[in-house]
Amino acid sequence: MQTTISWKHLSGRRNIESLVVGVVNIYYFCMVISDMNEKIKLFVPQPAGSFQDRLNDLGHQVESFLAESGLSQENIFWSRIYLSDAANQLEDVLNHNLYQEILAKGAFSYIEQPPMDGSKITLMLSFVPECRLVKKGTPDRMEITCGNVTYLYQSVRLTETEAEALTAKQQTMLCFEQHIEWLTEKSLSLKDNCMRTWLYVRDIDSNYAEVMKGRNAVFEKQGLTPETHFIASTGIEGYGTHGKTVICIDFVSIQTDADMRVKYLQAPEYLNPTYQYGVAFERGTAFHVNGQHRLLLSGTASINKEGKCIFVGNVERQAERMLLNMDQLLKADGATIGQMKYFTVYLRDISDYPVIRKLMTERFPDTPIVILFAPVCRPGWLVEAEGEVSILEEN
């Protein structure tokens, strides 16, 4: 890919230095480029024993991986743990050395979405081998800076007291308000700085419509419209630790003084804009900053350009169309599905797991793939997937 570099493009991230040789001053400039080559690894415990046994095994795996790779807790960027029973398992996780000594050193999120392989717990770990990460905050609300780019990770899980008197719409608005408040403190905004959200909805068939009303109300107030843009997102079934909470939301926002180009991914010959059927999210968002080209794909299903679910009742054909849609979205900004760093796959029916596991592992044998029990927002959609591409560009 060719990049046209102008003086403006370099502004805010150039150092001018002078070297004196006799009476001659030799000037040169150095571009300060982030070397954040983020990597993703999945950890799955041995499928035997109690939850505590599996948690111990997961801890040993992570410790061994860090030691063998020459990494430490300081290289941890973010992590998400998928649980089969959050109400009974989360406390054990938070009290374990794996969390306290390793995962809590980066941004952390959890959700109840049972891993389909029967493992009870799966860890998705993001780490950065080269760049020195500067971290500030708590695991559920953390700023992580590499070079002159800061990522703001927030995992909002309402307390029982916060949630109990609120409708699904009101809970959704409250979750967004908590992230907006943090952004406002830093003179940022949801419209300009938020790149990605995950909306985990309890009993999605019953509550999704009200959750969408809450998000739409927030977006209208924040100036996010079909004429401006929305935010890449996944809306999927997922559970917190108590029954009062209908919605859990994870946010990723970015702050930088570098030039950043953002593109919202579309493939109109394959799938339509979401606002045409009453919801508000981008199919994907790509951004270029400091030599990094990152493409964040929203949850994507078997949908056509009229917004209709296709191949109803056939999970394998739905998965094929889902992957085609993902590939076309990535091609809109110069990438392909073969470059995916990971896949998170959501299934409505546990009996479809063998078919989807075979299809995904045969197609992407070297890519981390986690397959979860998590119904999609429309009953007709049997499978959905999301993921990311990250490319280091030459400048």
User: What confidence score (pLDDT) does residue 51 get?
Assistant: 97
- What is the Cα–Cα distance from 285 to 301, expressed in whole angstroms? 17
DSSP state of 132: P
Take residue 111 and report the two structure tokens written for it.
Answer: 């959700």
User: What confidence score (pLDDT) does residue 392 get?
Assistant: 82
User: What confidence score (pLDDT) does residue 131 get?
Assistant: 84
- What is the Cα–Cα distance from 150 to 65, expressed in whole angstroms? 26
Q: Please, what is the Cα angle at 342 between 333 and 379, to 5 degrees?
A: 90
- What is the Cα–Cα distance from 46 to 31, expressed in whole angstroms? 46
User: What confidence score (pLDDT) does residue 365 get?
Assistant: 97
User: What confidence score (pLDDT) does residue 290 get?
Assistant: 84
User: What confidence score (pLDDT) does residue 393 get?
Assistant: 73
Residue range 48-58, pLDDT digits in tens: 999 999 999 99
User: What confidence score (pLDDT) does residue 357 get?
Assistant: 98
Residue found by looking up tokens 């929305």 in the block? 230
Q: Domain residue spans in the chain? A: 258-395
User: What confidence score (pLDDT) does residue 378 get?
Assistant: 92
- What is the Cα–Cα distance from 120 to 189, expressed in whole angstroms? 37
Instruction: Identify any residues that bridge with 343 across adjacent strands, giving them in sequence order.
Output: 369, 387
User: What confidence score (pLDDT) does residue 2 get?
Assistant: 32
3-class SS of residue 101:
helix
Helix (H) or strand (E) holding 194: strand 194-201
User: What confidence score (pLDDT) does residue 394 get?
Assistant: 64
- Identify whether the C-beta of residue 122 lies closer than 8 Å to the C-beta of residue 82: yes
Kindly report the pTM of this predicted structure.
0.91
Enter the CATH code of domain 258-395: 3.30.1330.40
Low-confidence ranges of the chain (pLDDT < 70): 1-35, 394-395
- What is the Cα–Cα distance from 386 to 196, expressed in whole angstroms? 12
